[in-house]
Chain A
C-alpha cells in the first residue's frame, strides 16, 4: 500500500467526545483520510488506526490525556483506501463552558528521519 506524504502547510484538526467518537474534522482531515464528513461523523477515531501501530502507543495516549495532560507522538494512519500517512500528533483534553470534556487533536507533517526512526521503533515493539 502506498504512502501518502503530508504537505508542510497542512494542519489536520479533529475533535472527539470523551469516548473517542469523532465530533469534528477539518478539510485536511477529510483530504488525507479519504473519508467524507458524513462518513466520519459519529465514527470512532480509531477508524484510522493502522495495523503497524503498537497498541502501547494508544494506551499511552489515552492514559496521558485522561490525566488532563497533552500527548505528543508519531502515528501511522490508514486511509479509507488502505494507503497510509505518517503524522506528528498533539492531543489535549479541552473543557467547554458546560463542563463537558472533549479531545482536540492536531497533526503536522513529520520529517523523513522521524518517520524512519519511529517506523523502525514500532516494528521492534510489535
Chain B
C-alpha cells in the first residue's frame, strides 16, 4: 500500500516489541521515542506510546488492587477482619479483580456479622444468660457445625448450672442441719462438762470418806492389838489360877490323906482304949481309974474320928470346889483363847478393811484420772463443736454465696429446680 523505509520499519518493530515486553512485564517502563522524520510513522509511534501509557494505568491499578487485597488477607490471617481499603487509581483496574474484591468484602461482612453474633452470644453468657441459642441462619457446613458445637457447649454449661443449683440448694439445706447439729453438740458438750464437774466433786467427797474409813481401820487395828494383849494377859492369869487350883486340889488330897491317917490313928486308938478297958476290967478296982482313962481315951478317939470325918467332909467339899475352880479356870482359859482368836479374826478383818480401803483409794484415783481424761476430752469436744459451729457458719456463708451466684444466672431448667425445691421445703 505504501513504501516504508527500513529505518522506520525498525523503529516501529522496536516500539511494538517494547509494548509487548511492557504488557508481559519483562520491562517496567516503555521507551518509545517519536524519532522518525515522517509524520505518519511518528503518528503510529505516538499511538503505541499512548497505548502503553493507558495500559500502565491499568497495570498500576491492578497492582494496587491486588496489593490491597493481599494486605487485607494478611491481616485476616492474623485475626483482623477488615474490608479491603480503597484507592482512586483502581477505577482503571480489571473488572475481575474489582469483582473479586467485592466478593471478598462481602465475605468479610458476613464473617464480621457471624463474629458479632458469637461475641454477643458470649457477652450474653458472661452476663449469666444461657437461654438464647446461637443462630446460624444462612450458614452451612463448617460454620453451621461451629454454631451447633457452641450451642451444645451452652447446653452443657446450662446442665452444669442445673447441677450446681441443685447442689447448692441441697448444700444449703445440709449446712442448715449441720449448724443445728453442731449447736446441739456444743450444748451437750457443755452439759457433759458440768456433769463431770459434779462427778469430780462427788469423787472428792468419796475420797475423803474412804480416807476417814482408813484412819478408823488404823485405830481399830491398834485397839485390836491392845485387846489381844489384854486377852493374853487374862489367859495367863487364868493359867495361874488354874495352877493355884491344881495346887489346892493336891493340898486337899494331902489333907485327905492326913485325915485318913488321923482316922486310922483314931481307930487304932479306939481299939487300944478298948483293949485297955478290957485289961482295966481284968485288973479290977486297981484298974478302975485306968478304965476311966481308957474310956476317956476312947471318947477322945471317937471324937478324933468324928473330927476326922468332919474334916474329911470339909476336905471333900473343898476338893469338889477346887475341881469346880479348876474347871472354871480351864473354861476361862478356853474363853480367853477364843477371845484371842476372835480378836485375831477381827484384826484380820480390820486389815482386810484397810486393804479394801487401799484398793478403793487406788480405784478412786483411777476413776479420778479417767474423769480428768473425760474432762479433757469433753473440753476438746466442746472446742471441736465450737470449731464445727464456726466452720458450718463459713460453709453456710459459702453455700449462700454459691446459691446467690448461680441464681443470678438464667438457664434452661432453672425454674423447675427452684419450684421443686420450694415444694420440698413445704
Which residues of chain A have a CB within 8 Å of any CB of chain B? 13, 15, 24, 26, 68-70, 72, 74, 88, 90, 92-97, 102, 104, 106, 108, 110-111, 113-114
Q: Are A104 and B29 in contact (CB under 8 A)?
A: no
| Closest residue of B by beta carbon distance from A72 | B60
Q: How far is the CB of B231 from chain A (nearest CB, A)?
A: 123
The listed residue with most B CB atoms (<10 A of its CB), out of A69, A93, A104, A108, is A104
Q: Are B89 and A104 in contact (CB under 8 A)?
A: no
| 5 nearest A-B residue pairs (beta carbon) | A88-B28, A94-B85, A92-B64, A94-B87, A70-B89
B residues 57-73 in Cβ contact with A at 8 Å: 60, 63-64, 67-68, 70-71
Q: How far is the CB of A77 from chain B (nearest CB, A)?
A: 15
Q: Are A13 and B70 in contact (CB under 8 A)?
A: yes
**CB within 8 A of A106: which of B56, B67, B86, B88?**
B67
Q: Are A13 and B71 in contact (CB under 8 A)?
A: yes
Main secondary structure of the interface of B (DSSP, over half): helix
15 residue pairs bridging A and B, Cβ less than 8 Å apart = A13-B67, A24-B75, A68-B88, A69-B88, A92-B89, A94-B64, A94-B85, A94-B87, A96-B82, A102-B85, A104-B87, A106-B64, A108-B25, A111-B28, A114-B28
Query: Provided the pairs A68-B88, A70-B60 are in contact, do residues A111 and B70 lie with their beta carbons within 8 angstroms?
Result: no
| Closest residue of A by beta carbon distance from B28 | A88
Contacts beyond the supplied A13-B70, A70-B64, A114-B27: 20 A-B pairs with Cβ under 8 Å: A24-B71, A26-B74, A70-B89, A72-B60, A90-B60, A90-B64, A93-B87, A93-B88, A94-B85, A94-B87, A95-B85, A102-B85, A104-B64, A104-B85, A104-B87, A106-B63, A106-B67, A111-B27, A114-B28, A114-B29
Main secondary structure of the interface of A (DSSP, over half): strand
Q: How far is the CB of A71 from chain B (nearest CB, A)?
A: 9
The number of A-B residue pairs with CB atoms under 8 Å apart is 65
User: Is B83 part of the contact surface with A, judged by Cβ < 8 Å?
Assistant: yes
A111: chain B residues within 8 A (beta carbon): 26-28
Interface size on B, residues (CB 8 A): 22
Complex Cα–Cα for A80 and B68 (A): 26
B82: chain A residues within 8 A (beta carbon): 96-97
A95: chain B residues within 8 A (beta carbon): 85-87
Q: How far is the CB of A91 from chain B (nearest CB, A)?
A: 9
Q: Are A104 and B67 in contact (CB under 8 A)?
A: yes
**CB within 8 A of A96: which of B56, B60, B64, B85?**
B85
Q: How far is the CB of B55 from chain A (nearest CB, A)?
A: 13
A97: chain B residues within 8 A (beta carbon): 82-83, 85
B residues 369-387 in Cβ contact with A at 8 Å: none
B residues 67-103 in Cβ contact with A at 8 Å: 67-68, 70-71, 74-75, 82-83, 85-89
Query: Provided the pairs A24-B71, A97-B82, A106-B67 are in contact, do residues A92 and B87 lie with their beta carbons within 8 angstroms?
Result: yes
A24: chain B residues within 8 A (beta carbon): 71, 74-75
Q: Are B29 and A69 in contact (CB under 8 A)?
A: no
**CB within 8 A of B28: which of A70, A93, A96, A110?**
A110
| Closest residue of B by beta carbon distance from A71 | B60
A68: chain B residues within 8 A (beta carbon): 88
Q: Are A92 and B70 in contact (CB under 8 A)?
A: no
Complex Cα–Cα for A108 and B28 (A): 9
